[in-house]
Amino acid sequence: MEIRAEEIKNNPNRPQHVAIILDGNGRWAKKRGLPRMMGHNEGVKTVREIVTASAEAGVKYLTIYAFSKQNWNRPKDEVSAIMSLLLKTAQREIKELHRNNVRLKVIGDKNDLPNEARDVLEQGIELTKDNELLTLVVALSYGSRDEILRAVHTLAEDVKSGELDPNDINETLFGSRLDTADIPDPDLIIRTSGEYRISNYLLWQAAYAEFYFAEELWPDFHRQEYYKALLSYTQRERRFGKTSEQVSI
């Protein structure tokens, strides 16, 4: 039976923040005898569909793993084609995001990105900064260990300069030095394409996240598959280390 957006939106247990590892673009193309880039082009359409579906279902934060730090090691041709696709997509979609009251954020090491793409993204972040319907977080040149180390370096610098007492380092302060400062932890992490790995994604932030693994390749992951994942989340009990009796009070 079809799951409607309202069904999720009216459910008080719906996730506030969904983070997705989109996987399977290459295999989608290969299965059809097409070049890998055709899978990435198709993957962008799915991103669009899932952004809309998230807004309609009342999800407040959607984080997508668009390009990892490790993805730079792919063949040169594929990396440069993905960077062109990123630029083209950002140029085309940012106004549309803004019209729809979506705020754009980027996590990851922006310094690694080609200048033109970085500039377009930064303008988009500025343009959409007050939007409230949904925050779309795009992880680009992102690796969680890299993010954690960059946070550690800022703390170490502050200790070295005498601005920070090491005893004052706690979870809140540490979290505020991550790229995700101001973004709540993900409630649900979805990975597509039948792979069961975390792949250096939001390691600190995922401490209490629920996981959902979908068999579909990313370009085949449509609104209904997504809503199935959200509905499954609403039926779970999150205990945060407590007992079932404690959390059901």
Catalytic residue positions, numbered: 23, 71
- Confirm if 137 and 103 have CB atoms less than 8 A apart: no
| CB 39, min distance to ligand FPP, A | 6
Of residues 30-69, which lie at the interface with ligand FPP (CB under 6 A)? 40, 43-44, 47, 66-67
Helix (H) / strand (E) element for 61: namely: strand 61-68
Burial (0-12, 13-18, 19+ Cβ within 10 Å), 83? middle
Question: Binder to ligand FPP among 63, 89, 135, 141 (CB under 6 A)?
Answer: 89
Using the structure block, give the residue that is written with the tokens 């500039």: 119
Between 8 and 121, name the residue whose CB sits nearer to ligand FPP: 121
Of residues 8-27, which lie at the interface with ligand FPP (CB under 6 A)? 22-27
Query: Of 77, 70, 81, 46, which is closest to residue 190 (Cα–Cα)?
Result: 46
Query: Of 133, 136, 130, 149, which is closest to residue 204 (Cα–Cα)?
Result: 149
**Does 85 interact with ligand FPP (rule: CB under 6 A)?**
yes
Between 39 and 186, name the residue whose CB sits nearer to ligand FPP: 39
* DSSP secondary structure letter of residue 141: E
Between 58 and 108, name the residue whose CB sits nearer to ligand FPP: 108
Q: Residue numbers of the site for ligand FPP (CB under 6 A)?
A: 22-27, 40, 43-44, 47, 66-67, 71, 82, 85-86, 89, 138, 218
